[in-house]
C-alpha cells in the first residue's frame, strides 16, 4: 500500500494540467537557483576585487599614478570602471575643451553626466536577473495552489463516481494536492529570501559606488583632498598633483 501511494504513483496519476503545473514549477526552480548561485558568486568576486582596487587607489600618490594603474587593470569591478570614466572624461575635457557638444554645459557638468551614466549602468547590471527571482517567489505559491485546486477537483470526481468517500478513492488526489502545495512553497521560499538579500546587497553596493563617484568628482573637478566614505578604513587621502579641470578657470590660467 505504501509503494502504491508513493511519489512515483503521484507522477503516474498526473494529467495534462498537472504535468504542466509540475513542469512550470520545475522551470522556475531551476531558473531561480541558477541565478541565485551565479549572482552570489559574482557578487562575492566583485566585492573582493573592489576592495583590492580601492586600497590601491587610495594609496596612490597622484592622479597620474592612478591613471597608470588603471591602464594595467582590465576594469574588472565597478569602482575601477567608474575611475576610468572619470579620468577619461577629465582628459577629454582638457584636450578638447568645450568644443564638443557633450561638454557644452561645462567640464564639471560633463564629468557629472559621465559619472551618473556609469552609476546608472552599474545599477542596471546588478538588477539583472532579479525579475526572474521575484517572479518565482511571487508566482510559485499560486501555481502550486492551482495544482492543489485541480487535485482536489479530481478527489471530488472520484468521490462522485464511487458514491463513497473511502480512503482508497481520495488518497491519490489528496496526496497530489498536498504535493503541489509543497512544491510551490519549496520554489517560492528560497526565491523570496534570495531576492531580499540581493536587493539589500545592491542598495549598499550602489551607495558605496555613489560615494566613490562623489570623491572622484572632487578629486578630478575640484582637486580637494578627501577621504572616501566607500573606503575600508585604512586608506589615506589621495594627493592631487595632476592638472585640475575647472570650468571657472579659463584657458592658460592657473588656480591660486
30 domain-assigned: yes
pLDDT value for 228: 39
Domain of residue 114 covers: 8-222
The answer to the question of residue 172 being in a domain is yes
Which residue positions in the chain have pLDDT lower than 70?
1-13, 69, 72-75, 92-106, 162-173, 222-256
**Conformation bin of residue 163: beta by default, left when phi > 0, alpha when psi is -120 to 50:** left
Q: Is residue 243 part of a domain?
A: no
Measure the CA dihedral 35/36/37/40, to 10°: 110
> Does a structural domain hold residue 51?
yes
Check: pTM over 0.95? Answer yes or no: no
**What domain count does the chain have?**
1
pLDDT, residue 95, reads 62
Residue 233: the pLDDT is: 44
Task: Specify if 198 maps to a domain.
Answer: yes
- 79: nearest Cα among 252, 197, 228: 228
For residue 248, being part of any structural domain is answered with no
> Residue 255 has what pLDDT?
42
pLDDT of residue 161: 72
- 244 in a domain, yes or no? no
Amino acid at each position: 500500500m505504501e509503494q502504491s501511494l508513493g511519489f512515483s504513483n503521484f507522477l503516474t496519476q498526473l494529467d495534462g494540467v498537472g504535468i504542466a503545473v509540475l513542469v512550470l514549477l520545475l522551470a522556475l526552480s531551476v531558473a531561480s537557483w541558477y541565478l541565485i548561485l551565479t549572482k552570489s558568486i559574482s557578487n562575492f568576486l566583485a566585492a573582493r576585487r573592489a576592495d583590492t582596487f580601492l586600497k590601491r587607489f587610495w594609496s596612490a600618490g597622484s592622479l597620474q599614478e592612478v591613471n597608470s594603474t588603471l591602464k594595467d587593470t582590465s576594469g574588472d569591478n565597478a569602482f575601477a570602471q567608474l575611475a576610468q570614466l572619470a579620468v577619461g572624461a577629465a582628459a577629454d575635457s582638457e584636450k578638447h575643451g568645450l568644443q564638443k557638444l557633450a561638454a557644452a554645459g561645462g567640464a564639471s557638468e560633463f564629468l557629472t553626466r559621465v559619472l551618473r551614466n556609469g552609476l546608472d549602468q552599474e545599477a542596471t547590471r546588478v538588477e539583472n536577473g532579479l525579475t526572474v527571482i521575484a517572479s518565482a517567489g511571487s508566482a510559485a505559491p499560486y501555481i502550486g495552489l492551482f495544482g492543489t485546486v485541480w487535485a482536489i477537483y479530481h478527489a471530488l470526481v472520484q468521490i462522485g463516481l464511487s458514491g463513497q468517500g473511502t480512503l482508497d478513492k481520495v488518497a491519490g488526489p489528496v496526496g497530489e494536492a498536498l504535493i503541489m502545495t509543497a512544491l510551490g512553497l519549496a520554489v517560492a521560499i528560497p526565491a523570496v529570501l534570495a531576492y531580499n538579500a540581493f536587493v539589500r546587497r545592491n542598495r549598499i553596493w550602489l551607495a558605496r559606488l555613489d560615494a566613490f563617484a562623489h570623491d572622484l568628482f572632487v578629486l578630478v573637478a575640484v582637486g580637494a583632498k578627501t577621504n572616501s566614505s566607500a573606503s575600508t578604513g585604512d586608506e589615506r587621502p589621495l594627493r592631487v598633483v595632476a592638472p585640475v579641470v575647472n570650468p571657472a578657470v579659463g584657458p592658460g590660467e592657473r588656480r591660486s
